[in-house]
Structure 1
Amino acid sequence: MKTILIIDDDSAVMALTRKTLQARGFQTLAANDGVAGIEMAKKHLPDMIICDIQMPQLDGYETLAALRQDPVTAAIPFIFLTGLADRKHLRQGMGLGADDYLTKPFSVSELMAAVKTRLEKQAAVQRRSERKLEDLRGNIGMALPHELLTPLNGILGFASIMMDEGVVFEPREIRDFAHNIQISALRLHRLIENFIIYSEIELTKSNPKKVQELRQNGRTLTREIITGVAREKAATAARQDDLRLDVQEGCAAMAGSYFKKILEELVDNAFKFSKKGTPVGIAAGVSEARFTLSISDRGRGMTAQQIADIGAHMQFERRFYEQQGVGLGLIIAKRLAELHGGDLLVESTPGEQSTVQMFLPLAVEGN
């Protein structure tokens, strides 16, 4: 059963609209102003919203703007109710992302035609989204075999050497072989993990209810995770002296496993794409009522076009640089931040430096 939220301070119009929709099999929710309407939309995630323009506290335009700014409610079909005097302002509403409008007084047939049209359009959008997910699975299927073969070949190659009959190895040589096998195995594990996480992100992104659950259930104290990951990555790169830490405690609205994953990808990139002897700076804390993280390095940098083209299956300048991987780390970090109501920004000067900044909502007390 489809659910439609009606936001209107006119009790007569509200009653008529609800009665009409309920008689035709729809479940209805009601709010008499924009503030209450936004809260109900976020809580119940209706299949459609019908909203008056002239209302107290928040008018229809402000209500629509707030809903469109939140990824959880941004895609919900939205129909304006308007009096004749408001029709000249409809362009403003359509510019904000309204799907349709009804002029008061409207007939039952006009109401049902608008509702049917918008729900059919939303179903078409959903079908296109599902096709995109199928394309994603296909793209991953094409990229995965090549990326898996490189570490697998390393494992098989070193194992084959060790199993060669008639060859006696020194203990040091055996340790070197084992170390290289471990490096290839860890790379293989990380590749598979990244592909799985990216697929989960894309599936979650298309489900507003899952996004809402993700945002409500996350709570992580960040300082210990940041310092631990930073020191581990610096040690792995043999660059402990290059690490610069300025980390204050914060409580981010994100699960610890996701937060750690973002840190691992961003810090690993900072060391991987800069030279030994150049600083890698990591700063974190609370600013303007949100958690902020900044990671900077003085490495090869990125062009403005490369930043704009950040995508799941692009590795920048692969013809010129031989770092392994398919470039999923940065996009995973960005998508995870966005899923949790935050953002990730990249500023860079080619050949000089890069700074990645992440912003996340603070966890609400009690979560």
Structure 2
Amino acid sequence: MYKILLVEDDYEMRSNIKRYLELNNFTVFDAENGKEGAELAAIKQPDLIVSDISMPVLDGFEMLALLQKNISTATIPFLFLSARSDKSDVREGMKLGANDFLSKPFSFSELIDVINVQLKKKELEKKQSEDRIEQLRENIRLAIPHELRTPLNSILGISSILAKSEEFSEDTKEMVQMLNESAQRLHSTLEKYNRYVYVELITSDYAEINYLQSKITNAAQYIIEEIAYSYAEKFNRTKDLKFDLCSADLKISEEHFALLLEELLHNAFKFSLEGKVIAINSKKSNNIFSLTIKNTGQGFPKDALEQIGAFVQFDRKKYEQQGIGLGLIIVKRIISIYKGSLDIESDEKSYTAVTISLPLIEG
């Protein structure tokens, strides 16, 4: 069901339009001036805004200009309703970024037609944006990584077979196993590179960001447990997990929430020893969900925490880190899409606690 934000200072007209839109299966939020409208748009993220021009506190033009400055509302289709038919008003509205202009008086059927046109246009633009991102992602995935993936898969397959062969000495099988493990690390690095490219493409596409911010994850606690246990099994450390989770429905796509968990849990297991507790706790406060993953073991140097970015490594020689240091920047980029935050608390010799905060679904 599409969400419409209706901004109109005339109570009777606002009530009549709202009632008619709801009868046509739209979810309608309403405001009586531009200031309230701008605040509601940022919170509710409607699919389309229908607004009068002449209003108190903040008029329609001023509200639209304000919305254009906010990355989360800049791409929302905007329809002006006005008794002012001056062409200069139309030009002003279009110059500010309005998508259409409907002069009063108008029929409800005319309003529905104009709204449907804009919503269909938005759906088409979203589809085109998704197709472009997918094509770019595929092109990059098939470029440099492809030149490595094909021979790498051969190395992985052949080395796995040779490691099980009875024809080789234990020393030879040990070397083959080392070869296989190195190939697995390289494969993991390539996959992380693909994730990084994908996230970078998204963060430069405002329409895609707006679309993603409408996605939700229900019952996040079960997803956390499922992914945590899957990683614990890989490292043979299910007994090291300790949970203290609250139920939560989040404003983030399930795919991206899972990706965050995978990156953080991979690091938590990788940089702590078997038998050391990995504590996973969550809480809710003021419409914000906070998840903390804490592992005892290797921490980050204090100055390194201020330099988190793509390709940054922390004390590589000392800890023999694998990969190219993209995990945290992937997490940071994804969280920024959903207006969340990332906090890292660490002692270089004893522990690391990573906390991600994300908006909860209201109500």
Q: Same fold (TM over 0.5)?
A: yes
Please state whether the residue corresponding to 2:317 is helix, strand or coil: coil
C-alpha distance in 1, partners of 2:179/2:238? 22
C-alpha distance in 1, partners of 2:147/2:277? 34
- Counterpart of 1:205? 203
Deviations 1:30-73 (A, max 9, x none): x9522224556855799xxxx99x9269xx79x95x986x5424
Deviations 1:8-42 (A, max 9, x none): 99xxxxxxxxxxxxxxxxxxxxx952222455685
User: CA distance change for structure 1 residues 221 and 236 in 2, over 3 Å: closer, same or farther?
Assistant: same
Q: Is the 8 A contact 1:151 1:184 kept in 2?
A: no
Q: Is the 8 A contact 2:289 2:359 kept in 1?
A: yes
Q: Percent same amino acid among aligned pairs?
A: 28
C-alpha distance in 2, partners of 1:315/1:75? 37
- Counterpart of 1:352? 350
What does residue range 1-367 of structure 1 map to in structure 2 within 5 Å?
32-39=33-40, 43=46, 55=57, 71-73=71-73, 155=156, 158=159, 168-169=167-168, 181=180, 187-363=185-361
- Counterpart of 1:4? none
Please state whether the residue corresponding to 2:352 is helix, strand or coil: strand
User: How far apart are residue 281 of structure 1 and its match?
Assistant: 0.8
Please state whether the residue corresponding to 2:272 is helix, strand or coil: coil
Deviations 1:209-237 (A, max 9, x none): 11111010232321222112222222322
User: CA distance change for structure 1 residues 223 and 43 in 2, over 3 Å: closer, same or farther?
Assistant: closer
C-alpha distance in 1, partners of 2:277/2:249? 27
Deviations 1:274-293 (A, max 9, x none): 23333211112433222221
Please state whether the residue corresponding to 1:220 is helix, strand or coil: coil
TM-score by length of 1: 0.59
C-alpha distance in 2, partners of 1:293/1:263? 10
How many residues align? The count is: 294
TM-score by length of 2: 0.59
User: How far apart are residue 346 of structure 1 and its match?
Assistant: 1.0
Q: Is the 8 A contact 2:310 2:325 kept in 1?
A: yes
Q: Is the 8 A contact 2:75 2:210 kept in 1?
A: no
Deviations 1:171-196 (A, max 9, x none): 9x989968974x56654553333222
User: How far apart are residue 149 of structure 1 and its match?
Assistant: 11
Structure 1 stretches of 5 or more lacking a match?
Answer: 1-6, 10-30, 77-107, 117-138
Please state whether the residue corresponding to 2:334 is helix, strand or coil: helix
C-alpha distance in 2, partners of 1:163/1:275? 27
C-alpha distance in 1, partners of 2:208/2:322? 33
User: CA distance change for structure 1 residues 215 and 179 in 2, over 3 Å: closer, same or farther?
Assistant: farther
Amino acid at match of 2:57: M
C-alpha distance in 2, partners of 1:321/1:154? 26
Q: Is the 8 A contact 1:295 1:357 kept in 2?
A: yes
Amino acid at match of 1:363: I
Please state whether the residue corresponding to 2:211 is helix, strand or coil: helix
User: How far apart are residue 355 of structure 1 and its match?
Assistant: 1.0
Structure 2 stretches of 5 or more lacking a match?
Answer: 1-6, 10-31, 77-87, 97-139
Amino acid at match of 1:168: E
C-alpha distance in 2, partners of 1:170/1:189? 27
Please state whether the residue corresponding to 1:197 is helix, strand or coil: helix
Q: Is the 8 A contact 1:239 1:277 kept in 2?
A: yes
